[in-house]
């Protein structure tokens, strides 16, 4: 194999583990992009091979869902629904159940990262105003967003990639993943209620005024109607999901209210660049014979990713080491076929709750909370994340074995 390709591949995935390039202000996306650029400049693969490596349907579907989420965010949907839930006169356990349920439900169709980004600042301030301890509710938001997003093939970036790469049935996956995800939300609620007994309230705290997009019933309704029709299209129509998503995005961009640049400004471009860069890096490694070498070494060590249990456990561990999207990109070429799609999707997503850096959704919640003066450290998150991850992974595995 080409030594440069191996070195770039190792360095890129090492940067996924470290969160970027140490000593430089280069994050995971920047490191992956640099790796792809070096490979192209050094002729590690041709421009045509690089273009062919990019999974356009995955990017198109991801982009379309981002535009729909942006429409709802600009329409004030997230702030409105969070206000309605938190300001109801509910006991803390019931309020926690409401937050867990709505975060899980929204994340199943609007991607978990977007839900956490939009809801965290609002939820933080509303909890502080009511003198509620915001930490259990914010941890519930992050964990529920991860669990809920595992229920569909559009709930998070890795599921979109798995669904498109393996050509999974939207309805078939939903029927497989929904039961363990629903049970997972109940488990999350029970763990937090147990952990935070007697710790629901705080003394008065400084509350900053979070600027929210004003609620626009027409624009929110427009976004929700498009989303519902899109999901129905995924479930009933024979057309490719990516084309349906792009069509939905096109309808929303055709607007007299929101400038397209405002909508496009809420698209997660770094995530799209990360996908493109990792596609190129992985393709170069595969063309150099790296995947065959890894498979041979795995078999020699007695590790077979064709075994569902091994793949399930490997995915969970790797997702916490390098994050779930890079982990899935690494494992997809090594997995035996479409029947392993639910194994990859459920394991990589549910494992994201284990530690803060296991999921981008967790990081978003922790960083947004920090800006509001709320500290959620590794130990605080782990009190909930570790047991929830272990139990939900066990439930998902038992379910997969029962239906398999």
Sign of CA dihedral 236, 237, 240, 241: negative
Place of tokens 């629901």: 200
H/E segment holding residue 20: strand 20-21
**Confidence grade of residue 337 (pLDDT, cut at 50, 70, 90):** confident
| pLDDT of res. 347 | 97
Task: Give me the residue spans of the domains in the chain.
Answer: 3-403
Distance CA 350, CA 196 (A): 22
Give Cα separations from 347 to 123, 215, 341 (angstroms).
28, 36, 10
Distance CA 258, CA 219 (A): 9
Query: Left, alpha or beta for 321 (phi > 0: left; psi -120 to 50: alpha)?
Result: alpha
CB 227 within 8 A of CB 110: yes
Mean pLDDT throughout 16-26? 86
Higher pLDDT, 208 or 113: 113
DSSP summary character for residue 333:
G
What is the torsion angle, in degrees rounded to the nearest 10, for the CA atoms of residue 155, residue 161, residue 162 and residue 163?
A: 70
pLDDT tens digit sequence for 92-146? 999 999 999 999 999 999 888 889 988 999 999 999 988 999 999 999 999 999 9
Checking if the pLDDT of 210 tops 70, the result is no
Compute the mean pLDDT over every residue in the chain, rounded to the nearest whole number.
Answer: 90
CB 354 within 8 A of CB 385: yes
Least confident of 27-36, 96-105, 200-209, 313-322: 200-209
Tell which residue, 205, 270, 370, has the closest CA to residue 26.
270
Place of tokens 């229920």: 151
DSSP summary character for residue 215:
P
Checking if the pLDDT of 277 tops 70, the result is yes
Lookup: tokens for 14: 């090492």
| pLDDT of res. 290 | 81
Distance CA 288, CA 5 (A): 8
pLDDT tens digit sequence for 281-312? 999 988 888 877 877 777 777 777 788 999 99
Mean pLDDT throughout 184-207? 89
Place of tokens 């519930």: 140
Give Cα separations from 96 to 108, 117, 185, 191, 391 (angstroms).
18, 19, 11, 11, 19
Q: What angle do CA 154, 157, 159 make, to 5 degrees?
A: 55
Distance CA 113, CA 188 (A): 18
For the chain, what percent of residues have pLDDT higher than 70?
A: 98
Q: Is 237 exposed, middle or buried (0-12, 13-18, 19+ CB in 10 A)?
A: middle
């Amino acid at each position: 194999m080409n030594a440069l390709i191996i070195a770039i591949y190792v360095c890129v995935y090492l940067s996924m583990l470290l969160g970027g390039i140490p000593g430089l202000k280069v994050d995971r996306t920047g490191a992956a992009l640099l790796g792809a650029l070096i490979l192209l400049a050094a002729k590690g693969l041709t421009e045509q091979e690089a273009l062919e490596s990019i999974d356009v349907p995955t990017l198109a579907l991801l982009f379309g869902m981002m535009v729909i989420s942006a429409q709802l965010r600009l329409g004030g949907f997230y702030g409105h629904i969070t206000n309605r839930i938190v300001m109801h006169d509910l006991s803390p356990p019931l309020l926690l159940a409401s937050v867990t349920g709505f975060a899980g439900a929204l994340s199943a169709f609007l991607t978990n990262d977007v839900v956490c980004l939009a809801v965290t600042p609002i939820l933080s301030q509303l909890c502080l105003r009511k003198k509620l301890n915001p930490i259990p509710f914010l941890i519930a938001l992050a964990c529920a967003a991860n669990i809920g997003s595992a229920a569909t093939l559009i709930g998070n970036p890795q599921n979109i990639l798995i669904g498109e790469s393996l050509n999974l049935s939207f309805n078939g996956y939903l029927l497989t993943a929904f039961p363990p995800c629903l049970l997972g939300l109940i488990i999350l609620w029970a763990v937090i209620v147990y952990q935070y007994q007697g710790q629901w309230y705080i003394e008065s705290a400084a509350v900053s005024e979070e600027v929210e997009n004003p609620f626009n019933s027409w624009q929110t309704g427009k976004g929700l109607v498009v989303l519902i029709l899109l999901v129905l299209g995924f479930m009933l129509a024979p057309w490719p999901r990516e084309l349906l998503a792009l069509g939905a995005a096109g309808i929303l961009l055709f607007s007299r209210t929101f400038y397209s640049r405002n909508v496009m400004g809420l698209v997660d471009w770094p995530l799209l660049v990360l996908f493109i860069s990792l596609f190129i890096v992985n393709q170069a490694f595969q063309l150099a014979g790296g995947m065959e070498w890894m498979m041979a070494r795995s078999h020699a060590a007695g590790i077979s990713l064709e075994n569902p249990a091994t793949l399930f456990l490997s995915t969970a561990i790797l997702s916490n080491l390098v994050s779930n999207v890079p982990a899935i990109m690494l494992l997809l070429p090594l997995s035996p076929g479409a029947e392993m799609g639910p194994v990859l999707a459920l394991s990589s997503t549910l494992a994201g709750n284990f530690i803060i850096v296991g999921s981008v959704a967790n990081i978003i919640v922790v960083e947004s909370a920090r800006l509001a003066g709320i500290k959620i450290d590794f130990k605080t998150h782990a009190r909930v994340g570790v047991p929830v991850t272990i139990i939900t992974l066990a439930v998902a595995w038992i379910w997969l074995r029962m239906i398999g």
